[in-house]
Amino acid sequence: MSVSRKKPLPLFRLCDTIEIVNLARLSRQKIILLIGDCVVFAIVTVFGFASHETLGTAGFRMLTTFVPVVIAFLLIAPYLHVYDIEVINPLRDLWRPPWAMVLAAPMAAFLRGAWLGTSIIPIFIVVIGAGNAIAILIWRALSLFTISKWLSKHG
């Protein structure tokens, strides 16, 4: 008697789509993009604290913005194929990472509000989404040209 396998519940499909967790399957280009994305989010976070003139006293408080942004982005990114090699190279698909950030901004703000135990200010969602989306668009546009050249030279 053969046992038929059931399809996984939709809720558990999220675990199947997050390839970021499995570092062994990541290519060099994906790792560079992932690290670059995190650096961009860190720069935007530092810039945000500096624009409020609280950078000198922020310390670990910056993590309350940085960590939720990274988590939210990494949860949304697989659905927009942000780290799929065949999608990230063409110039016509450069919209995917910024759009993923725009979609991740409300989740990031919610996670930050839950962490701090505070309410979510709607303008914060707009600022965090727009600031990170613009920054990641610039980074990804630069990466299209620099990473491909570097990888062609260094394998």
Place of tokens 């303008």: 123
Q: d(Cα 119, Cα 112) in Å, to the nearest integer?
A: 9
Least confident of 11-25, 32-46, 123-137: 11-25
Average pLDDT over residues 7-17: 49
Instruction: Indicate if the pLDDT at residue 57 is higher than 80.
Output: no
Place of tokens 């945000």: 48
The type of residue at 104 is A
Average pLDDT over residues 12-33: 61
Instruction: Indicate if the pLDDT at residue 3 is higher than 70.
Output: no
Task: Phi first, then psi: give them for residue 6, nearest 5 degrees.
Answer: -85, 150
Instruction: Indicate if the pLDDT at residue 109 is higher than 90.
Output: yes
DSSP symbols for 44-67: HHHHHHHHTT-HHHHGGGGHHHHH
| Tens digits of residue pLDDT in 32-47 | 889 999 999 999 998 9
More confident residue, 89 or 150: 150
Residue 47 sits at the vertex; the CA angle it makes with 43 and 52, to the nearest 5 degrees, is 155
Q: d(Cα 119, Cα 109) in Å, to the nearest integer?
A: 9
Q: What is the pLDDT of residue 155?
A: 58
Q: What is the pLDDT of residue 60?
A: 79
Average pLDDT over residues 137-144: 89
More confident residue, 9 or 65: 65
More confident residue, 125 or 4: 125
Q: d(Cα 152, Cα 154) in Å, to the nearest integer?
A: 6
Q: What is the pLDDT of residue 26?
A: 64
For 155, what's the count of Cα atoms within 13 Å in the CB-facing half-sphere? 0
Instruction: Indicate if the pLDDT at residue 29 is higher than 70.
Output: yes
Q: d(Cα 91, Cα 88) in Å, to the nearest integer?
A: 8
More confident residue, 155 or 108: 108
Q: How confident is the model at residue 20 (pLDDT cuts 50, 70, 90)?
A: very low
